[in-house]
Amino acid sequence: MKKAVIVVIVLTVLAVPAAMFGLALMSVLTISGANAAQNACVAPIGSFASMGGPVRWPVVGPFTVTSEYGMRYNPGNIDHGEYRLHAGIDLASGTGPVVAAAAGIVSGTPTSATGGNIVEINHGGGLVTRYLHLTSRTVAVGDRVWAGRQIGIEGQTGNVSGVHLHFEVVTNGQPINPRGWLTQQGLVVPPTGSAGTAPAGVLVDPGGLTNVDTDPISLEPAAVGDSRPLVSALPSQVGAWQGDQVANAAQVIKAGQDRALDAKTITIAVMTAMAESSLQNLDHGDAVRGDTIGLFQEGPERGPYDQRMDPYGAANIFYDYLLRVPGYLDLEPTIAAHKAQANADPYHYAPRWPDAVQMVSTLTADPELLQNLPTTGPVTGCANGGPEALAGTGDGSGQAIIDAATHYLGTPYSWGGGTTTGPSLGTYTSGSLDGTHTVGFDCSGLVLFAVHHATGIELPHSAELQGTDPRGAVVARDWAQLQPGDVISFSEDGSGAPGSFGHVGIYIGDGKMIHAPRPGKTVEIVQLRGSTYYEPMAWSIRRYAN
C-alpha cells in the first residue's frame, strides 16, 4: 500500500518565454515541507526551502507525448484493463537519457512491480518529481542534482507496454497533472501523440543551485503563548488501532461533528471505514473493483480524486450517501452502512461495530480534543500505524529508557508530537513547523515518552526543562561519567544561557545518542562524540534512571 506523504506548500511560478531553450524558472519558495520518503517511516533527507532555478523537460532531444494524466484503462500486463488513475505524463524518446526537471536532492530510488526502476527528487518547498520505468539509474539517494543532470536511462521496467518515461509531479502528497505544471513553468507541452524537442543534458553543475543547508536546526517549539497549539494529545492507540489509523478516525469523527451529526451516525461512519480500508488511506481498490480509493473505498462516480483521498472529504461523501438512506437510524448499523455503500454482503461491517464504538467514545470523551483538528489533508505516519505500542513499563533503568526510545526508531518527526503513551499528532507554530498532519515525535516528545515509560517520571514537553528538571541528578559533561539513558539538552549558541537550549536527546553509550532531529526526518541514532555540530554546544545533562 502506498501512503500519502503530507506536504503543506505555497507554490508560485514565474512564467518565461518558452523560446528559452525549453527552460522555465521556478521561483524560490520561502517555507519548508516534509519530503517524500522511500518508505512511510524513513526519510533519507530533511526538509528545506525550494532550490529554485530552471525547470526543463526530463528528457533529451526529440520526444513524443504518448499518454496523459487522468483516468484510463490500464494498458500494462499487471491488472490489464483496470480503470484507474494514470498519475503522470508519458514521454517517449527512445532509450536516451532521463534528466532532472529541476534542481533538488534525490530522496528515493525505489523499485516496484508497476513503476519499475524509479528515481524520486525532492526540490524543496514541498515539490517532488518522480521518474518511472528506467532501464538504469545514474544517481543515488542523497545526490544533489541540477536541471538537466542525467539521473537514468529511459526504459520499460515495471508495468508497461513500451519504452517511455512516466513523469510525475507531486505536491501536497498528491500527484498533479504534469501538463499543467510544466505549462505554468513556461514550457509548451505538445498535444497527445505530437512531438517536441527537449534541450541537451547539462553535464556540469551550473553553480548556485545545490548549496542547500540540510544540517540540523533548532527544533524546540516556541514558548507557550508564541505558538498556535492544535492537537497534541491524540492517543497513539485505541484498542487494536494505532498511529495514522487513529488520526484518520479522528478526521471521520470531526467531519460528522462539523455537520452536527449524532453519535450513532458518526459511529456508523467509523465502522464503515474500519471495514472498508482498516482506516488506511488506500490509493487502490480490490479484486472486485480496482478504481475505489480512500478510507471508504469510494469510486470516481462519488466525487473527485482529491476529495476521496482526503479523510475528511471522503467522510463527507459517505455522510451524504448515508443520510439519503430512509430511516437509517432505525436500521442495524451494518445494514445502514450496506445501503449507503452498496456492499454485496450486508453484514460485512458488523464485526467492526464494537471497535467503532470504542474509537468514537475515546476520541469524543474530551470535547476539546478534536475541536482544532485540521480539516484538510490526510495525516501521515508510519506504515500500518508504526510499531506496536510498547507493552508494560520499564524497570527504571537507563537501558529501559533506551529501549523505549529505540522501539520507535524510524518514526516520523512531528513538531510538538509525542505524549507519555507514544507518538501523536503535533502542534502548529509556522508553515515550516507544523506537526498537525503527522503522527510522531519531536525531540522533547521522544524523551518525554521514553523517560515516563521507563521510570514513571512525567517530564515537561520542553528540551530546556528536560535538561534542568530537579527530579534528575545533575551529570557533569565528562565522557567517563555519562551513562546510557542520560538525557542531554543542547544550548545551540554555546552560551548555556536560559532560553538557549533548543534540542534534546538520549545518550545510548559508545559516544552516540538517539533523538528526533527535525521536520522531514525520523527518530534516529547519531554519533555524538566528535560531532562538529553537537560538541561545540553547551550541554545540560540529567539522569532520571535509578
99, 150, 282 from 147: Cα distances, Å: 7, 9, 33
| Whether 515 is catalytic | yes
State how far the Cα of 250 lies from the Cα of 363, in Å rounded to an integer: 7
AA identity, residue 84: R
AA identity, residue 51: M
State how far the Cα of 38 lies from the Cα of 118, in Å rounded to an integer: 11
State how far the Cα of 56 lies from the Cα of 198, in Å rounded to an integer: 8
AA identity, residue 400: A
Q: What is the DSSP string of 194-249?
A: -EEEEPPP--S--SSSS----S----PPPPTTSSB-------SEETTEETHHHHHH
Q: Which H helix or E strand runs over 320?
A: helix 311-322
Q: Which listed residue (164, 166, 407, 515) is catalytic?
A: 515
| Whether 166 is catalytic | no
State how far the Cα of 100 lies from the Cα of 363, in Å rounded to an integer: 45
Q: Which listed residue (338, 443, 453, 461) is catalytic?
A: 443
**Which of 275, 277, 301 is CA-nearest to residue 2?**
277
CA 259, 263, 265, 271: dihedral to nearest 10 degrees?
A: 120
Q: Which listed residue (133, 407, 437, 503) is catalytic?
A: 503
State how far the Cα of 335 lies from the Cα of 252, in Å rounded to an integer: 19
| Whether 338 is catalytic | no
State how far the Cα of 250 lies from the Cα of 371, in Å rounded to an integer: 10
- Which residues are part of the catalytic machinery? 443, 503, 515
